[in-house]
Amino acid sequence: MGLENYKTSIESDRLILRILEENDASEEYAFWLNDPIVNKYLETRKATIEELKKYIKERLESGKCLFFGIFWKADGEHIGNIKLEPVDFEQKKATLGILIGNTAYWGKGVGAEAVNALTDYAFNSLNLNEVNLGVISENKPAVGLYKKCGFEEYDIKKQSLDHEGILYDSVQMRKRKNG
């Protein structure tokens, strides 16, 4: 089962999550990945618009990824991205990743709203039983966000993430459909 027949947008109170297309690769999106404040805990860094187009195209064609832009409903501004990759229908689980690139929206509950909208979609429309993720232990705001959204820590992989030449612990978290 592929993902091509699934919804291309999800709405929440303040957000629209829409499948990204190549033309969404903008200067602002590239700026997020080149901004040391935004990319502090990201694996992906320093991207050009052409590299972003290629990345988006690869996600679209993979058949294992739902890669959404996070758009502010009031004005349509692209403020971040969220994805499920890979989606494994056999195991009924997926891995979540999120980036709120526009720092003006940090601390406003946007991340929680997007995570809740996408996990609800994963459980209720994709019929998955688990959404999991890994987060660098130093990224306390993200760990707190995921806990607020109902994720629980289930493992810590010691010194498993190389971030700028320093090894950090990776906190493994998951949210299950029925608690």
Letter for the amino acid at 171? V
Q: What is the pLDDT of residue 147?
A: 98
Structural domain of residue 115, as residue ranges? 9-129
Task: Check residue 130 and give its pLDDT.
Answer: 99
β-pairing verdict for 66-72 and 93-100: unpaired
- pLDDT value, residue 142: 94
The pLDDT score that the predictor gives to residue 44 is: 61
Query: Residue 12's pLDDT is what?
Result: 98
pTM: 0.92
Q: At what angle do helices 49-62 and 27-34 cross, to 10 degrees?
A: 100
User: Looking at the domain assignment, is residue 165 inside a domain?
Assistant: no
Q: What is the CATH number of the domain that holds 104?
A: 3.40.630.30
Do residues 123 and 177 lie in contact, with contact meaning Cβ atoms separated by under 8 Å?
A: yes
Per-residue pLDDT 10s for the chain (179 aa) are: 466 666 689 999 999 999 999 999 999 999 998 887 787 777 666 789 999 999 999 998 998 999 999 999 999 999 999 999 999 999 999 999 999 999 999 999 999 999 999 999 999 999 999 999 999 998 999 999 999 999 999 999 999 887 778 888 999 999 999 86
Within 10 angstroms of residue 107's Cβ, the number of other Cβ atoms is 10
Question: Looking at residue 103, what DSSP letter applies?
Answer: G
Tell whether 161 is covered by a domain. no
Whether residue 52 contacts residue 61, with contact meaning beta carbons closer than 8 Å, is answered with: no
Query: Would residue 20 count as lying in a domain?
Result: yes
Cβ atoms within 10 Å of 33's Cβ, excluding its own: 19
Does 112 fall in a domain? yes
Residue 3 has what pLDDT?
A: 66
Note whether residue 104 is domain-resident.
Answer: yes
Q: Bin 77: left if φ > 0, else alpha if -120 < ψ < 50, else beta.
A: beta
Task: Tell me if 114 is assigned to some domain.
Answer: yes
Decide: 71 and 108 in contact? Cβ < 8 Å.
no
Do 97 and 65 contact (CB within 8 A), yes or no? Answer: no
**pLDDT score, position 49:** 94
Closest CA to 68 of 127, 135, 11: 11
156 found inside a domain: no
Are the C-beta atoms of 80 and 70 separated by less than 8 Å? yes
Count: domains in the chain: 1
